[in-house]
Structures are given as structure tokens and as C-alpha cells.
Structure 1
Amino acid sequence: MQRQFRKNILTLVFCLFVGSVFGQKSNNKDTLRVLFVGNSYTYFWNLPQMVETMARSNDYAMIARKSTAGGTNWKQHWEGDKGLKSRSIIEDGNWDVVVLQNHSKSTINDLEQFMEYGDKLIELVKSTGARPVLYETWARSFNPLMIDQIKSGYHELAEKHKLDVVHVGEIWSMALDQRADLRLYDPDDSHPSTIGTYLTACAFYSYLTGKSAHGLEERISKTDGDGELLYLSIMSGNDAEFMQDVVDHFQTRGK
């Protein structure tokens, strides 16, 4: 009985020690905590994990998480549709940055709703001490001119609240202007392909870290809980270098 009691005490002490270590790691003030709030334009091909892995591979401590559901807009995030708990996740997550991505046609189909629920989410994020950032999405492949209304809506909201925008849609347009062969789109002509997600990840990496995208690996990998290597993205060297250059060029030319 006494041996079992001592064993239980030692187990408890070990668990408390491990919990303390991991708790310190997750709350490390040197680690940038980023939450992505959006839909499939965010979760396709694991964008948050790709950004985090790019950062960590370049000695920049980052934790990136997401609150997403397919086809959703900011109103649905606010009202908790589709089982979303974005508001409580924002309030309880101790985030440094919250990235807000609305439905891809939200600025076109209902700009008033875009502004109304953008206002609500931005004020909620600010109330927690985190920094809200807008994720400007891209035009559908069949109508590149959509980017004008998308850009206008995000810029209007950003100017109203004095926020930063990660200009993903404009970066996509620039890349396609230079290389129409670049297959940024999924076959549905809307969602990102693995190449499109890599370009988007380069843009977020550059914005969040303040570093050049130049020199990022063309193969983005991490290990799973069993120590097995997982490849989040595999690009050709030429495509990766081109996309990194597009991001850097866009960042330096001025918006």
C-alpha cells in the first residue's frame, strides 16, 4: 500500500512538472500567437500550419490556429452558425494577432453586411488586446476584375479602423499577370491549389515575421505526434522562388 502511495505521488509530481513546462512553452511571451478566422480559403491545404512551419523553420517562434467552416462569412462567425465558436475562441485564446477572412464574395454581394460584422469582430479582437488583421482574398479565375471590389471593401474597412491588410488577392493578381501558367487555383476555379496556398503562406509569413520571403524552403514539412515527417507542401524550386519574389516585390513597391 505504501509503495503504491509513493508511486502515485511520484506520478502526480511528474505530471505537474510536465504540465508546467508545456504551460510555460504555450504562454511564452516570445512566441507569436496567431488565430485565423475564416472559411475554406483559410483551411485549404493547411494554411495556418504552413505559415507556422515556415516561421519555425526560420527561427521565429509562432503558434497558428484556426476557427473555420466551409462557406462561412463573418455574420455566421459572430452568430455561431455551423457550430463555430469564434467569439469565445477570440476572447479566451490570449492571441497576439487575429486574422479575419470573410466569404470570397462578401464585398460584392453584401458590402453593408461585410462592414457591419467586420466592425463587430474587429472591436471584439481589440477588446482582448490582440491585433486584428484583414486577409484580402482573390478574384475567381473566371473573372479577374472581381479583385477591384474585393480590394475596395477590405481597404475601406482597414482605413476605418486603422488596420493592416495582408494583400493576398492583389499578390495573386500580380503573380498571374507575370505568369498566367501558374496554377494557383483548385479545379473549381475558386479555392487555392497547393501552389496558391504556398503563395498565400509566403505573404503571411512575410507580414507576420517582418522578414523577406526569399529563401523559404520549397518543401514545407513538420513531424507528427509519432515523429513521422509530414509534407504540407512540395513546390518546384523555380515556382517557389518566383512566388517568394512576387511577395517581396509587392511588399517593397508600396500599396
Structure 2
Amino acid sequence: MRFTTRFLYLGLFFFLSNTILSQNKLDTLKVLFVGNSYTYYSDLPQLTSLISNHTKVKLVTKSSVTGGANLNHHWNGERGLKTKDIIKSGNFDIVILQEQSLGTIQNANRFLGVVKKFSTFIRQHGAKPYLYTTWAREKKPQQQKTITRVYKQAARDNNAGIVLAGEAWALARKQNSNIDLYIEDGSHPSSLGAFLTACLFVNTISKELPNELPNKYNITNDLGDIIEARYYNSSDISFCLKVVKETER
């Protein structure tokens, strides 16, 4: 009887241990960011991955980027880009497409055409396409309406996911005109701009965002060495989380 009881307790111990481990284990999605400096400035992909550690879905991110690139450059393999090869071999769950910042304004038809080609190609290799809606230049907020409209059309046409970063930025600036989302050029994202955008990516993809996030994020290089310990104050974090949730309503 004592022998049987011991096995019952042992079985219960392993059952509870496995239950706890399964509850703590994160689901994982492999995400490829395709774009230019609007993607790699302030380490947006890595920041997205770090923030996702605080949800139930871990986003493992990789990038195919170069400065000034549009999606046609990526599609045609220009400027040393190997985006299609990376998609073919990467076993990604999601591929995020970001057009050059003025591409939707200057040549919407070209953008719509290349998104269609990429969306088909991405699905052929087992992933889902997402579109990264960028923001208007700091001094030209009126651009946002066109940018968002064209991205939304592309998303509808291709049944693609969409991350409304530009809309989140516009809302943040409306609620706080002094917020520092841009660097000095009035175009690229500051550290805080990248944080807001990363929070939006996490919420859009995982359908989850915690009410609180840590203040410190260690940015690392390809070898895993810490190259920057980045800090955000609690009020900025709370504001970004609020804006994201209002954008996604």
C-alpha cells in the first residue's frame, strides 16, 4: 500500500510540474521585417521581440533591410538585397512589408502591384503577409490620410494583416504635441517612436499587451553582446500602451 501511495504522489508531482511548465512556455512566431531605415532605426525588430517576452507569444524577429529601399528593390533583389531567398529558406510565420516612406504618395500603383506579388510569394512559402503602415513626416501630418488609405487598400486586396503605426503616431501627437517620436530629421523614429511602434506590433500580432512593461531593454548585437541598455520612463510607457490600445479599438 505504501509503495502504491508513493507512486501516486510521484505521478501527481510530474503532472503538476508538466502543467506549470506548459503554462510558462511561450508560443513562438518567426517574424521577418522587410523594409528600410524606418524598420531598422532604433532597433525596432529587436525591441518588438523583447517586448513580446511579456506576453504569451514570443516573436522571434529577423530583418531584410537597407537604407532607402522600396519594396520593388526587395522584389528584384537590387542593392544587395536577398529578401526572397530569406523568405524561401526562413520558415517564417509572418513577413512584414514596409514601403519607402513616400512610396504610397508618389507611386501608389507600383506599391499595390508589388504588395500583390509579395503576398502571393509569402503565402507560397507558408507565411502570412502583414503591412507596416508608416507615419507622415513631422512637418507634413496631412500625408497620413493618403498613406493609411493606400496601405489599407493593399491589405484588403491581399487579405493581409496591417499594423497601423502611422495612425498610432498621429494619435500620440494629437494627445501630446510635445512627444518626441522623431529624431532631428523629422522623419525617422526616435527611441520612443520605435517603442510605441514595437508595442503596436506586439499587440497587433499577438492580440495581447500587458498593462505594464519594464523600463529597461538590453539591445544586443548578432553575437548576443549588449551594445545598449535602453531605458524608458514609466509615464512614457503608460502613454504608449494607452495609445496602442486606443489605436486598435
| Change beyond 3 A, Cα 1:216–1:107 | same
Alignment partner of 2:231 out of 234, 239, 242: 234
SS for the counterpart of 1:211 is coil
State which drifts further: 165-174 or 60-69.
Answer: 60-69
Measure, in 2, the Cα distance between the counterparts of 1:108 and 1:226: 39
SS for the counterpart of 1:152 is helix
Measure, in 1, the Cα distance between the counterparts of 2:79 and 2:201: 27
1:83 has 2:55 as partner: no
Matching residue of 1:96: 93
Matching residue of 1:151: 148
**Number of residue pairs the alignment of both structures matches:** 225
| Change beyond 3 A, Cα 1:44–1:227 | closer
Measure, in 1, the Cα distance between the counterparts of 2:157 and 2:66: 27
Matching residue of 2:198: 201
Q: Map of 1:110-129 to 2, 5 A cutoff?
A: 110-129=107-126
Measure, in 2, the Cα distance between the counterparts of 1:233 and 1:99: 25
Alignment partner of 1:214 out of 208, 211, 214: 211
- Identity level (%): 35
SS for the counterpart of 1:33 is strand
1:109 has 2:93 as partner: no
Deviation at 1:44, TM superposition (A): 0.4
Aligned CA RMSD, in angstroms, stands at 2.0
Whether the aligned pair in 2 keeps the contact of 1:175 and 1:246 (CA below 8 Å) is yes
Deviation at 1:209, TM superposition (A): 1.8
Quick one: which amino acid aligns to residue 215 of structure 2? E
Deviation at 1:208, TM superposition (A): 1.9
Whether the aligned pair in 2 keeps the contact of 1:206 and 1:213 (CA below 8 Å) is no
Deviation at 1:213, TM superposition (A): 4.7
| Change beyond 3 A, Cα 1:151–1:225 | closer
| Change beyond 3 A, Cα 1:225–1:81 | closer
SS for the counterpart of 2:34 is strand
SS for the counterpart of 2:48 is helix
| Change beyond 3 A, Cα 1:110–1:162 | same
Q: Which segments of 5 or more consecutive residues in structure 2 lack a partner in the other structure?
A: 1-24
Measure, in 2, the Cα distance between the counterparts of 1:79 and 1:242: 40
| Change beyond 3 A, Cα 1:69–1:213 | farther
Whether the aligned pair in 1 keeps the contact of 2:26 and 2:56 (CA below 8 Å) is no
Quick one: which amino acid aligns to residue 89 of structure 2? D
Matching residue of 1:38: 35
Whether the aligned pair in 1 keeps the contact of 2:55 and 2:210 (CA below 8 Å) is no
Quick one: which amino acid aligns to residue 233 of structure 1? R
Alignment partner of 2:62 out of 57, 61, 65: 65
Deviation at 1:174, TM superposition (A): 0.2
Whether the aligned pair in 2 keeps the contact of 1:213 and 1:248 (CA below 8 Å) is no
Alignment partner of 1:192 out of 166, 173, 189: 189
Matching residue of 2:47: 50
Matching residue of 1:8: none
Query: When the two structures are superposed, what TM-score results if normalisation uses the length of structure 1?
Result: 0.83
1:165 has 2:157 as partner: no
SS for the counterpart of 1:148 is helix
1:176 has 2:173 as partner: yes
Measure, in 1, the Cα distance between the counterparts of 2:221 and 2:188: 26
Deviation at 1:210, TM superposition (A): 1.4
Measure, in 2, the Cα distance between the counterparts of 1:87 and 1:239: 37
State which drifts further: 217-226 or 109-118.
Answer: 217-226
Measure, in 2, the Cα distance between the counterparts of 1:84 and 1:227: 24
| Change beyond 3 A, Cα 1:81–1:41 | same
SS for the counterpart of 1:177 is helix
Deviation at 1:227, TM superposition (A): 7.3
